[in-house]
Amino acid sequence: MASYTASQRYLSTRGGSYNLSFEDVVLKGLASDGGLFIPEEIPSPPSDWASRWQNLPFEELAYEIFSLYVSPAEIPFADLKDIIHRSYSTFRTKDVTPTVTLDKEKNIHLLELFHGPTFAFKDVALQFLGNLFQYFLARRNQGKAGRDREHLTVIGATSGDTGSAAIYGLRGKKDVSVFIMHPSGKVSPIQEAQMTTVMDANVHNLAVDGTFDDCQDFVKALFADPEINKTHRLAAVNSINWARILAQITYYFYSYFNLICQPSFLPASTVRFVVPTGNFGDILAGYFAKRMGLPAEKLVIATNENDILHRFWQSGRYEKKRVHGTAAEGGIPEDGVKAHEDGVKETLSPAMDILVSSNFERLLWFLAYQVYSSESDATEKRRATAGEHVRSWLNDLRSKGGFGVDADILKAAQVDFESERVTDEETLATIKSVFTMTAGHLSHGYILDPHSAIGITAAYRSAERAQSSSTHHISLATAHPAKFSNAVEAALHGESGYSWSEVLPQEMQGLEDKPRRVSHVQKSSGWQGVRKIVIAEVEAERQAAEKAPK
Ligand SMILES: Cc1ncc(COP(=O)(O)O)c(C=O)c1O
Ligand SMILES: N[C@@H](CCOP(=O)(O)O)C(=O)O
């Protein structure tokens, strides 16, 4: 454990309280009881935050937000500023995450999160996390040489975007090896090329013949394994790592400030955020922003046909199995319809083909804390009670494939969130209609990637429901369309003014022809098979580094 005064302590969602600092939780990733770390308190910004923060550039705003969670005793101010600057100077636009208006009449805006090195929202957090790892390691390794140096073994699972963003955030970094598992053949060709064409010695790609959930299960099993934890310091890049959530809070505030200075934003206007959701990490950052005081009226979860979250918000049941013959496409069983479907469905938005959303566990903890205890109870007792409920729900998920919550928990969840489920067909229709609609007022039609199109579809539905015509929707554009040629071509091929070659940024041209490095892993070899590979490859990498001329 770090020896200096920490910003605040972190708890596990499963009830453990380990008195850990920010540095500890960033380096550890997952709590030893299998839970996810959450800060003991959600900090409040200064009372005049709205005026103080309104005109800040992205980096300065990030600094204000991060320093509410990280004290200078852990990372001195100047160092934190430097880490932030190095993380966001790699972005192609000065304002890092710009907001553009898509539909003036309906007040629909897009928060473009894809201007980082790998063209997906993950860069916002993973550029930062990569630099944080490097900073902590450099500090711990000062004056150390050879095998005395602490070495980080990063293990991640990806449905396409986290993997490349983590690889670009960590490639070539000293004292770090990075292992990324992706479901073989289930990520887009560009995503696969982005990951597997990186030749730095510290980057290891594993293609697993399973689903993203299998890869995520392997990650969690490795973190829980005492054997590898004795010899290797494992670290997480998935949104189980608290720093991922923290870094994503900034753009909710930033886009809100961008919006409120527009003439169409009236004193009575309200704002809703719409978030294409898979592992629940991106929208959880919105929840933290809201709890910190951001006046977001609702957070709208937009799922694809892997709709476990949508079904939860409709029914209060969190079930891995999907049910066919559903009411109004909502995933809720109709009388007499009993057909269930196991497993994840492959869709046109593959990065969201996720059966179990790992960060939902963090929200469950906050809901249980709020609902199952009263303010007169001691804080420790309230926290322990919340942890017990989460543990029991998660046990049922593992042993029975699902669980249900009380009406009060569902009601509490519905205060901050709404949900929508969007089919492939609707996704394609939105890509096409947005392209056509914007062709008149933008220099060319706006091309959405399929994940962002799911958000926009949900935003239009939410706008229909909104009680006030002055409700603004900020929908998160989570990836660049060039990453998903299948969906974009299926929606726009033959449309006047559309050409695929103009979609592809220069950085991606020729990428698919480059040499690749990837190992194949049979799902049947289990996480133990992955452990074997990790141990052997870290050793080979370290030996090669020791032999290399200094
Ligand atoms: C392009 C894209 N959109 C949306 C999501 C969903 O984000 P989250 O998993 O944080 O809910 C992901 C990955 O998860 C993604 O890669
Ligand atoms: N869509 C993600 C899945 C992993 O989610 P994470 O946010 O927990 O890292 C991906 O593209 O890999």
Nearest-angstrom CA–CA distance, 291 and 446:
33
82: its two tokens: 């430097």
Q: What is the dihedral of CA 321, 325, 328, 333, to 10 degrees?
A: -50
Query: Residue 417 C-alpha to ligand 1 middle, in angstroms?
Result: 17
Whether 121 has a pLDDT exceeding 70, the answer reads: yes
The stretch 8-25 carries a mean pLDDT of 88
The stretch 410-434 carries a mean pLDDT of 98
- The number of folded domains in the chain is 1
- The confidence band for 452, taking pLDDT boundaries of 50, 70 and 90, is very high
Residue 308 inside a domain? The answer is: yes
Whether 339 has a pLDDT exceeding 60, the answer reads: no
The full DSSP string for 206-230 is EEESS-HHHHHHHHHHHHH-HHHHH
**pLDDT, the chain, mean:** 93
pTM of the model: 0.95
Could you tell me which residues are beta bridge partners of residue 322? 341
Query: Residue 360 C-alpha to ligand 1 middle, in angstroms?
Result: 13
Looking at 226-374, list the stretches that DSSP marks H as alpha helix, in order from N- to C-terminal side. 226-231, 242-260, 281-291, 308-315, 360-371
Whether 330 has a pLDDT exceeding 60, the answer reads: no
**Percentage of the chain modeled with pLDDT above 90:** 87
CA–CA distances in Å: residue 57 to residues 52, 71, 80, 103, 197 = 12, 21, 16, 25, 34
Whether 490 has a pLDDT exceeding 50, the answer reads: yes
What ligand 1 atom has the least distance to the C-alpha of 160? 16
What ligand 1 atom has the least distance to the C-alpha of 282? 10
In this prediction, residue 545 carries a pLDDT of 87
Whether 334 has a pLDDT exceeding 70, the answer reads: no
User: Comparing C-alpha atoms, which of 295, 313, 289 is closest to residue 303?
Assistant: 313
Could you tell me which residues are beta bridge partners of residue 203? 178
Which residues touch 185 (CB under 8 Å, ≥6 apart)? 207
Residue 418 inside a domain? The answer is: yes
In this prediction, residue 315 carries a pLDDT of 97
Task: Give the least confident one: 144-158, 314-328, 436-450.
Answer: 314-328
In this prediction, residue 5 carries a pLDDT of 46
In this prediction, residue 337 carries a pLDDT of 45
What ligand 2 atom has the least distance to the C-alpha of 237? 9
Which residues touch 399 (CB under 8 Å, ≥6 apart)? none
| DSSP 8-state secondary structure symbol assigned to residue 479 | B
Tell me, what CATH number does 359's domain have?
3.40.50.1100
User: Comparing C-alpha atoms, which of 174, 171, 177 is closest to residue 233?
Assistant: 177
Q: Are 244 and 30 in contact (CB under 8 A)?
A: no
Whether 1 has a pLDDT exceeding 80, the answer reads: no
The full DSSP string for 301-335 is EEE-S--HHHHHHHHSEEESSEESSBGGGSS-BPT
Residue 369 inside a domain? The answer is: yes
Residue 132 inside a domain? The answer is: no
Whether complex ipTM tops 0.90: yes
Residues 354-393: pLDDT tens digits?
999 999 999 999 999 999 988 888 999 999 999 999 999 9
Nearest-angstrom CA–CA distance, 416 and 366:
12
Residue 297 inside a domain? The answer is: yes
Task: Give the least confident one: 82-96, 235-249, 325-339.
Answer: 325-339
Q: Is the CB of 164 under 6 A from ligand 1?
A: no
Q: Is 122 a catalytic residue?
A: yes
Residue 5 inside a domain? The answer is: no
In this prediction, residue 343 carries a pLDDT of 83
In this prediction, residue 8 carries a pLDDT of 73
Domain with 308, as residue range(s), is: 244-485
The stretch 274-302 carries a mean pLDDT of 98
Q: Is the CB of 162 under 6 A from ligand 2?
A: yes
User: Comparing C-alpha atoms, which of 20, 16, 40 is closest to residue 28?
Assistant: 20
Residue 46 inside a domain? The answer is: no
Which residues touch 546 (CB under 8 Å, ≥6 apart)? 146
Whether 441 has a pLDDT exceeding 90, the answer reads: no
Residue 494 inside a domain? The answer is: no
